[in-house]
Amino acid sequence: MAASVERMCGAALRRSSVLTDCSFSWRKNLSLRKTLVIWKQPPFRTFFTDRRKLHTAPVVRTFRLRPFHFLVATGGGYAGYRQYEKYKEEQLEKMGIEIPIKLASKWEVSLYKSVPTRLLSRAWGRLNQVELPTWLRKPVYSLYIWTFGVNMKEAAVEDLHHYRNLSEFFRRKLKPQSRPVCCYHSVISPSDGKILNFGQVKNCEVEQVKGVTYSLESFLGPCTSTEDVQFSQTSSCNSFQNQLVTKEGNELYHCVIYLAPGDYHCFHSPTDWRVSHRRHFPGSLMSVNPGVARWIKELFCHNERVVLTGDWKHGFFSLTAVGATNVGSIRIYFDRDLHTNSPCYSKGSYNDFSFITNNNKEGIPMRKGEHLGEFNLGSTIVLIFEAPKDFNFHLKPGQKIRFGEALGSL
């Protein structure tokens, strides 16, 4: 009897052990499955409704699209695209292949003009006035020299520690012998730079680059009356051009010179002439590099500019300094009343100033090669002048030129 009870108790213990092992194994497998499920599935938060379960993404993964992010992304992408287009154009230019003209649409021009370039240019101007520590001047100027290929051997002062701020460095003077003035030609280059275009003015249209034009009247503005020339503001376009020509048999010529950031930033008188009038056009400060000039029609008419008009031995003569991005400051040495890149201005307005007074009937006489003005960074000089029909330019489009070298002669 005792043996039977012992056998029954042993069997019960064995069954209990098996059940315990099975329960432990089942719990272990369930735990492992839960672990695998949790590892595979993202940690969604769950909400229960009467009909179905709703899952929401983790807070960490939520991305909120802000307007600033959108503007930075689109603006950066567009700028990168323009840089790529510019690179392709440079490669085609090096290979001697004519670059196809692709003008900007109205919305592209409006988008570009919406960029606060005037504010940025004023900020850049203030930054240029900040005096740099002596130990920092050489590294900063050396980086600029390396980036833009500046030739400091031509500077009157080669020591970089001499320039207290960027403005002084940009407006550095040259050694007198580094730019000899050509005496055998009637018109010389007023500055260092690159020839964008030149030739005769036809149908009151001027080429800023080959194939891209701007209106002569829009660029110079309505004509003023002087002692020698009588202008009519109600004249037609061709009549406007004809009125600028004061002598029979003469033609109107133009020349566009682009100053790169690494060029000498001062400009000089291109010939012997008298300056009688100054007109200041406030406006945008878009870039004027050759790529943009090929892209935006009437670019020079959009930008801020200072137009100096007068006469030389063959009739009408004008020199226009065109502002650009970071070049809102245009200085004319004999005109202390000129203030460019003002915070407020009326769109389409201009300011006139006459140098001819009761005490000064001649205006401002300028000698060939005499200092005339300066930019704070690279920009553009446009010459429009009257000359006999046998006037010839000694230039090629795209060539580099230096102040004092010949532009053309009779």
Looking at the annotation, which residues are catalytic?
192, 268, 379
> Considering just the CA atoms, what is the radius of gyration of the chain in Å?
36
CA distances from 239 to 235, 320, 338, 356 (A): 6, 21, 30, 25
- Both tokens of 182, joined, read 């050509």
**Which residues, other chains included, contact 205 with Cβ-Cβ below 8 Å and sequence gap of 6+?**
213, 214, 215, 216
Tracing tokens 């992010």 back to the chain, one arrives at: 69
Q: Which helix (H) or strand (E) covers residue 47, if one does?
A: strand 45-48
Pairing of strands 273-281, 364-366: antiparallel
Please spell the DSSP secondary structure of 49-74, one letter per residue.
-SS-EEEE--GGG-----HHHHHHHH
Task: Give the other-Cβ count within 10 Å of 358's Cβ.
Answer: 5
Amino acid at 106: K
Distance, CA of 327 to CA of 267 (rounded, Å):
14
Cβ atoms of 267 and 80 within 8 Å: the answer is no
Name the residue among 273, 251, 247 with its Cα closest to residue 188.
Answer: 273
